[in-house]
């Protein structure tokens, strides 16, 4: 009885606080942006000196949020350190999430981003999952456009070169109690980058990993939370010590293939009847909802001959891949993600057995190269496709 | 063949780097401690104004680590903000872990910590799991002792009052590449606290939760990583909106009981033959290796009559609890953790059914009160038990 009363009381208090909340909180509003330009511009590095995520542009975007007042006025200021109380929840309870996007310079010198609307949707889903504030994605895209225009000269030119954008949202409540954040900071930093793997478009070898599990049903593996990343580094180190570049994450006793390293993964199979299948795991809550993954599925469905290719989002196992390889039915395989875009695979180690993955063109399969080129053309504005490429203005 | 060559090469490079590493890295060394005292001492709050983890003592302990040089000289300085590049890996990939410990003032005015050696072991296991540096636990305990002696006046007096200690280890590499940290910061902050629940020693109601899953075999649920915490807050909010204090985390189709909120959990059952059983889940990789859990198991094995009680670490399900409750065989239940120490349970909601948990003494069961008192006496130095209580000197 005590419990039911207190439940009713709590419900009433919640109603009141929702009402109060809605009456005062401010939405994210790009029109309130203020810009403070740097007085000490950085030197730009030549393309061959760029290391992924190591150097950053002159400016950064920040927007503070409080439960009481909502989103404050956005600020673009010179790139600077964050100063936070050591009790801040981002240091203790992983109240943190991010997005990965890239900006490209087109032949007219305009700066373009690729399907940022998808990143905004995913970022909001991530925020909601760990009780951080959500926001209007178009407003953040407008703010990112302003940052891009200001730091335009940092966007490197050339195939494979881009400006990597890192929208980040962290909980900034200074308290060790584990509860809902009442303060947060949304920020965006930008790093000029070349190809993710220093080796360039070269195939990688994977270790099929079943002793460590990246994600599980009812968990958060489909969200871009910091929490999904640190635990994957030790298995990656261990794979590297055995001579592999990345982990191929398996799930369950069946050995379902889920992702590779920090990317989605695709396999192309030849069927007995001569038709082909491009396969990737379905979005069942354990798979990151990759923008590159989604783009590849859409382009392949539209552009590959339907009488020749089936494009499948379905569960499949390492055993099927091994079996197909044995029969000569494994055509090719590749990872897909924003950082590396498309990453060809030439070898999988599974329980001390080798699965050799064909790379018909020497460094990749034919479809892998085709898909990479389709996406590159849209990203660099050489081809307009739907609303996938957005010019900053 | 290329793969095998590059594997051998990588192995050789690793050997060389291990040799170089060992020849230059410094271990954590408490004798190198430097102390800078505050010039602006904070006002101490009266006991009734203390909120868990909201206010901190005058000083903090910090030790920087680099892959190149190992652990730098430890520093105690006035409590201050951390200043970090916005690309620092702690903000993006949850390279973070912590411990929870408490310091108590005994009747002689000495400051005592409780089984800190167990925290040090667990902290090193957490660090190893996410490729952060490990250290000699006794050295960190000596450093914590120095912090305690300096901030002694912040340790509140009185039953249920203590100084909560938060050893924290974060990755501080400033780079967006997902890889092994080459820089880290170990720090300890301290917060004067009263009882964790503002309601004091009052029973809590739990919602048995199966739609969200806290931990998974092959995951990191047994480590004290930040990654395990943020994902639990939304389910807790949702439980709160339905009138419950905390989640009772279930696992698998069988409905195995694992933990409660951020604590371990114990149930006491009456058997048909009149004997009793105290049950908690086994350390199977999905359960946090709680220091309070371990202490309760040890004390109960030693002090409860063996012909009357069985102390079990075994798998058990919500269905068994429900069944026992129906038969009148559920004696009591409690959560166990450093922050709350022992937290009595009086109600569990499971799929819209109520499981009422007896609280024979009004606010807790008899064993719950007994266990809490056993531990309290050792923590406050009223009773010496093995080496569980350490006097800072």
ipTM: 0.94
Confidence band of B24 (pLDDT split at 50, 70, 90): low
CA distance A42 to A75: 20
- In the numeric block, which tokens belong to residue B199? 């309601």
- Where a domain ends, among A149, A173, A193? A193
Question: Which chain A residues have a beta carbon less than 8 Å from that of B209?
Answer: none
Q: How far apart are the first and last CA of chain B?
A: 61
Q: What is the CATH number of the domain that holds B223?
A: 3.20.10.10
Same domain, A125 and A154: yes
CA distance A230 to B128: 11
Same domain, A221 and A309: yes
- For range B54-72, the mean pLDDT: 98
Same domain, A341 and A215: yes
Same domain, B282 and B380: yes
- Cβ <8 Å between B234 and A130: yes
Q: Is residue B140 part of a domain?
A: yes
Question: Which chain A residues have a beta carbon less than 8 Å from that of B236?
Answer: 178-179
What domain range is A189 assigned to?
Answer: 27-193
pLDDT tens for residues A103-146?
A: 999 999 999 999 999 999 999 999 999 999 999 999 999 999 99
For residue A191, the Cα-to-chain-centroid distance in whole angstroms is 15
pLDDT tens for residues B141-155?
A: 999 999 999 999 999
The reported pLDDT for the residue numbered A202 is 86
Torsion A239-A245-A251-A255 (CA) sign: negative
pLDDT tens for residues A22-79?
A: 446 899 999 999 999 999 999 999 999 999 999 999 999 999 999 999 999 999 999 9
- Cβ <8 Å between B10 and A240: yes
CA distance A102 to B302: 62
Q: Is residue A199 part of a domain?
A: no
What is the β-pairing status of strands B111-114 and B162-171? unpaired
- Cβ <8 Å between B233 and A179: yes
Confidence check: pLDDT of B3 > 70: no
- Cβ <8 Å between B52 and A14: no
Same domain, A170 and A286: no
Nearest CA in chain B to A212: B218
The reported pLDDT for the residue numbered A286 is 95
The distance of A216 to chain B (nearest Cα, Å) reads 7
Same domain, A208 and A181: no
CA distance A162 to B130: 30
List, as ranges, residues 16-55 from B with C-beta within 8 Å of A. 51-54
State how many domains chain B has.
2
List, as ranges, residues 286-345 from A with C-beta within 8 Å of B. none
Nearest CA in chain A to B205: A3
Closest CA to B278 of B304, B257, B246: B304
- Cβ <8 Å between B243 and A81: no
A353 touches chain B (CB under 8 A): no
CA distance A323 to A330: 9
Same domain, A153 and A239: no
Same domain, A174 and A320: no
Same domain, B251 and B141: no
Confidence band of A200 (pLDDT split at 50, 70, 90): low
Beta bridge partners, B205, equal B347
Confidence check: pLDDT of B156 > 80: yes
Q: Is residue B339 part of a domain?
A: yes
- Where a domain ends, among B193, B222, B253? B193
B159 touches chain A (CB under 8 A): no
Q: Is residue A19 part of a domain?
A: no
Q: Is residue A145 part of a domain?
A: yes
Could you tell me which residues come within 8 angstroms of residue B251 by beta carbon, excluding any fewer than 6 positions away? B213, B214, B215, B258, B286
CA distance B20 to A33: 50
DSSP string, A220-266: STTS-BGGGTHHHHHHHHHHHHTT-SEEEEEETTTTEEEEETTBEEE
Question: Which chain B residues have a beta carbon less than 8 Å from that of A52?
Answer: 176-177
């Amino acid at each position: 009885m005590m419990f039911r009363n207190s439940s009713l009381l709590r419900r009433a208090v919640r109603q009141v606080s929702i009402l109060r909340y809605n009456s005062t909180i401010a939405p994210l509003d790009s029109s309130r942006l203020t810009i403070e330009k740097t007085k000490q511009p950085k030197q730009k590095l030549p393309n061959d000196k760029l290391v992924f995520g190591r150097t950053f542009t002159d400016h950064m975007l920040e927007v503070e949020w409080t439960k009481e007042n909502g989103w404050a006025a956005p600020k673009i200021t010179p790139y600077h350190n964050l100063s936070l109380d050591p009790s801040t929840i981002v240091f203790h309870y992983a109240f943190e999430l991010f997005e990965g996007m890239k900006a490209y310079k087109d032949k007219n010198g305009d700066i373009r981003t690729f399907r940022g609307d998808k990143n905004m949707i995913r970022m909001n889903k991530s925020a909601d999952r760990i009780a951080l504030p959500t926001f209007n994605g178009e407003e953040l895209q407008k703010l990112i456009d302003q940052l891009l225009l200001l730091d335009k000269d940092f966007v490197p030119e050339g195939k494979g070169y881009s400006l990597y954008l890192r929208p980040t949202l962290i909980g900034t409540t200074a308290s060790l109690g584990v509860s809902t954040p009442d303060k947060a900071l949304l920020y965006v930093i930008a790093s000029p980058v070349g190809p993710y793997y220093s080796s360039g478009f070269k195939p990688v070898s994977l270790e099929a990993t079943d002793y460590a599990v990246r994600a599980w049903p009812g968990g958060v593996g489909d969200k871009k939370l910091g929490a999904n990343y640190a635990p994957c580094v030790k298995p990656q180190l261990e794979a590297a010590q055995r001579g592999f570049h990345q982990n191929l994450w398996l799930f369950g006793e069946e050995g379902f293939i889920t992702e590779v390293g920090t990317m989605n993964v695709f396999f192309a199979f030849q069927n007995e009847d001569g038709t082909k299948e491009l396969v990737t795991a379905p979005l069942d809550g354990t798979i990151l909802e990759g923008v590159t993954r989604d783009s590849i599925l859409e382009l392949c469905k539209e552009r590959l001959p339907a009488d020749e290719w089936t494009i499948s989002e379905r569960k499949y196992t390492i055993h099927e891949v091994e079996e197909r390889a044995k029969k000569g039915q494994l055509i090719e395989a590749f990872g897909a993600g924003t950082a590396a875009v498309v990453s060809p695979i030439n070898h999988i180690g599974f329980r001390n057995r080798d699965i050799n993955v064909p790379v018909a063109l020497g460094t990749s399969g034919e479809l892998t190269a085709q898909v990479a080129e389709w996406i590159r053309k849209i990203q660099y504005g050489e081809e307009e496709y739907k609303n996938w490429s957005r010019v900053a203005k």
